[in-house]
Amino acid sequence: MRKEIIKMYKRADKEGFAIGAFNFSTSEIIKGIWKAAANKKSPVIISNSEGERSFFGLEESVAIYNAIRKKHSFVVLHADHTKSFEEIKKVIDAGYPSVHFDGSDLSYEDNLRETKRAAKYAHRHNVFIEGELGGIKGGSTTHKDESLKDIVKEEFMTKPEQAVEFVKKTGVDSLAINVGNAHGLWKDYKQLDFDRIKTIKQKTGKFLVLHGGSGITPADFQKAISLGINKININTEIRVAYEKALMAGLKESTDDVPYHYLAHVSEAVSAVVEDKMSVFNSENKLKK
């Protein structure tokens, strides 16, 4: 599966689109993501973090992924923000074809060592692996009172020269970078460092990942893609759409049938995902 994933990343890099990675923690969310991908004829990455996997279930995630694979020509199940080798091993052994080792809370030396260890295990099992350098701060929620100034600092930004060493020594397939992005929705405007994206891409030649995509403008997404971003993660906007649709559905419900109001939840998720796929220029990119 790793070769197939790399092939799609190469195509995205060459044709100027980004593969959307959309997080899920409930069946309504994953139905919404799948419906959007089918409608847009777009490659898609369905992703969940350690907390989301714990809630939804590891085996359940793999089972629903295998079911979708029978209907969609390019879908990847991705383990997002996996922070230990033990967890990497667990998700790979369960059947995840793509993983993200997030050692950003470690020192640079420890991050490099542990990422290299994770990459060796992943590649031995034909699994695609994403590393992280710099550390993307914030949580996947709405930050109403906090400011990006508190977490978007030069000290957390990915350093191009360090990135060169990191990808060379770890052997990761892709790299998540901090270029002014942060998880969640903020009252401030996320100002991406486009020169940094360009420099990291030129110096490393690696597939690059933009976490914290919620709230970034379409124009900035497209510029980032043109400079070398190949995968973009979206979570908070999906969560917000889910909550609003669920609350409205419960309020308007005239019976006790869950799928009557939960169908609107999936539709709200689909609307967010379809919009992003259009912005990412990933529609109609499936094999003919």
**First-to-last CA distance in the chain?**
19
Active site residues: 80
